[in-house]
Amino acid sequence: MEDWAEIRRLHRSEKLSQAAIARRLGLSRNTVARALQSDDPPRYERAPVTTSAWAQIEPAVRAMLSRYPTMPATVIAERVGWMGGHSWFGENVARIRPEYAPADPCDRLVHLPGEQVQCDLWLPGRVVPDHAGVMRSFPVLVMVAAYSRFIAAMMIPSRITGDLLAGMWQLLSQRIGAVPRTLLWDNESGIGQRGRLAEGVAGFCGVLGTRLIQARPYDPETKGLVERANGYLATSFLPGRRFVSAHDFNTQLADWLVQVANPRKHATTKVVPAQALSTDRQAMATLPPVAPTTGTTVTTRLGRDYYVSIGANTYSVHPEAIGRMITVTASLDRVRARCADRVVADHHRLWGSAGLASDSEHLAAASIMRENFRNRPPAGTHLDVEVQVADLGAYDAVFGTGEVA
């Protein structure tokens, strides 16, 4: 490369002949002549191999891919009569397959105010202890207003539908402050899969007056705004922080979003998300007067073991409800049980699994009920009961019949 550049400099700038250049640089005249004839820098190009097994069968493989771009390499090998190693054949097919893949161009989107909020789950890793002190990886619900790039996020206990809806409602009502025309999700199982929304999601959207759209599988570019927000949280918020609980995580995250993330000037839009959110809100719908139904609700009959399991944890219920139907509701922070109109359990929700929450009042009531059951009066036997026997002679006297021999 250096010789090629020096040859052209001597010839063009110093006007030396090819023979003079060859003598000065110690090169042959043919080398100097080829350098002057070439307008592009020299580069090594490997000569195509035409004698290898792959080179001999490559035309047949390309013909097959031109008709069936997605045909598996094992099927192609069978069709073209390949008898060699399958791994090496598969590597070569994978190398040329992109040349026959159909084009899928994407457009640059223009996001209008109030049009869309993108939603996703960010998994920060095992950074938060659960109720037992074990480090767990709880999901973080992230929502980004597409026009203003305003970020709202919070850690939630699980990925089930009730927790996702509760987190979405809390972020929409307390952080964003309005309802967009559409909510964009991926194929999260708690939201819906295969074109069908999970139970409760349609009702949630109906109360809000919005529409939920799910991106196609394996198409993260559709919700690229929230994907980049996830990366921003992972690189700018998480490093160097320690958390003693999920509540501590949410407190630190909320402060960071208010003080750092949303007041900054966005690199793409060149505006401050916290200021642009007002324009977003003006184009959004107002919050509904009645909050949508969120959380997880279970109806069951309370057994002798006066505990109920919900969210992979177990909670005590007042034993006076044994044998009756109760309704258990788990929100993001509380677990409550009702028997008719009476609250028979109210616990802080446990984060994690295999937890046991017992109310001292429930334990004391159960102890009293067990003692009363042991000290109940003994039930009498059937021999102590006097059964009145009818006098059959009264029928004879009434109907005038005598004793029949």
State the pLDDT confidence band at 49, using cuts at 50, 70 and 90.
low
Same domain, 168 and 271: yes
Residues 22 and 131 in one domain: no
Instruction: Calculate mean pLDDT across residues 251-276.
Output: 96
Cα–Cα–Cα angle for 74, 75, 81, nearest 5°?
Answer: 90
Residues 181-209: pLDDT tens digits? Answer: 999 999 999 999 988 999 999 999 999 99
Q: How far apart are CA 139 and CA 120, in angstroms?
A: 10
Q: Which residue has the higher pLDDT, 402 or 394?
A: 394
d(CA 273, CA 32): 61
Q: What is the mean pLDDT of residues 311-317?
A: 95
Q: Residue 90: give the domain boundaries.
A: 53-99
pLDDT at 347 over 80: yes
Strand ranges, E, within 200-355 = 211-214, 296-301, 307-310, 313-316, 325-330, 334-339, 342-348
Residue 405 — very low, low, confident or very high, per pLDDT cuts 50/70/90?
Answer: very low
Region of 300 (left: φ > 0; alpha: ψ -120 to 50; beta: rest) is beta
User: Given pLDDT bands bounded at 50, 70 and 90, which one contains residue 398?
Assistant: confident
Q: Residue 241: which region, alpha, beta or left (left: phi > 0; alpha: psi -120 to 50)?
A: beta
Token representation of residue 239: 């490093």
Q: What percent of the chain has pLDDT over 70?
A: 96
One domain for residues 126 and 267: yes
Q: Is the pLDDT of residue 267 over 60?
A: yes
* Alpha helix stretches (DSSP H) within 172-272: 201-208, 224-232, 246-256
**Whether residue 140 sits in one domain with residue 252:** yes
Pairing relationship of beta strands 182-185 and 211-214 according to DSSP bridges: parallel
Q: How many domains does the chain have?
A: 4
- Residue 346 within any structural domain of the chain: yes
Pick from 236, 261, 283: which residue ends a domain?
283
Report pLDDT digits (tens) over 137-185: 999 999 999 999 999 999 999 999 999 999 999 999 999 999 999 999 9
Instruction: Quickly count: other Cβ atoms within 10 Å of residue 114's Cβ.
Output: 22
Tokens found for residue 97:
């397959």
pLDDT of residue 385: 67
pLDDT band at residue 391, thresholds of 50, 70 and 90? confident
Q: Is residue 352 part of a domain?
A: yes
114 contacts 178 by C-beta, under 8 angstroms: yes
Q: Is residue 391 part of a domain?
A: no
Q: Residues 143, 270: one domain?
A: yes
**CA–CA–CA angle 309, 313, 319 (5° rounding):** 45
Nearest alpha-carbon partner for 229 in 141, 317, 132: 141
Regarding whether 130 and 269 lie in a shared domain, the answer is yes
Lowest mean pLDDT among 42-46, 84-88, 387-391: 42-46
Return the exposure string of 231-245: e unless at least 16 CB atoms fall within 10 Å of the residue's CB, then b. Answer: eebeeebbeeeebee
pLDDT of residue 300: 96
pLDDT at position 286 is: 96
Sheet-wide strand order for 313-316: 307-310, 313-316, 356-357
Q: Is the pLDDT of residue 369 over 50?
A: yes
Among residues 331, 363, 362, 368, the alpha carbon closest in space to that of 348 is found at 331
Residues 139 and 253 in one domain: yes
Burial class (CB in 10 A: 0-12, 13-18, 19+), 147: buried
Whole-Å CA distances, 337 to 26, 102, 169, 309, 344: 94, 56, 22, 11, 6
The contacts of residue 115 (CB under 8 Å, 6+ apart) are 146, 147, 180, 181, 182, 283
Same domain, 159 and 268: yes
Listed range (71-85, 175-189, 251-265) with the worst mean pLDDT: 71-85
Mind listing the pLDDT tens digit for each residue in 373-387? 888 877 655 556 677
Cβ–Cβ < 8 Å for 202, 214:
no
Q: At residue 24, does pLDDT exceed 90? A: no
Whether the pLDDT of residue 50 is over 70: the answer is: no
CA neighbor of 321 nearest in space, from 346, 299, 347, 301: 301
Buried/exposed 28-60: b ≥16 CB within 10 Å, e otherwise: eeebbeebbeeeeeeeeeeeeeeeeebeebbee
User: Would you state the pLDDT for residue 116?
Assistant: 97
Contacts of 335 (CB under 8 A, 6+ apart): 310, 311, 315, 328, 329, 345, 346, 347, 348, 349, 357
What average pLDDT does the segment 284-311 reach? 95
In terms of domains, do 142 and 255 share one? yes
Q: Which residues pair with 119 in a beta bridge?
A: 143
One domain, residues 228 and 337 = no
Domain match, 305 and 279 both: no
Mean pLDDT (the chain) is 91
Does a structural domain hold residue 81?
A: yes
Cβ contacts of residue 195 below 8 Å, gap of 6+?
214
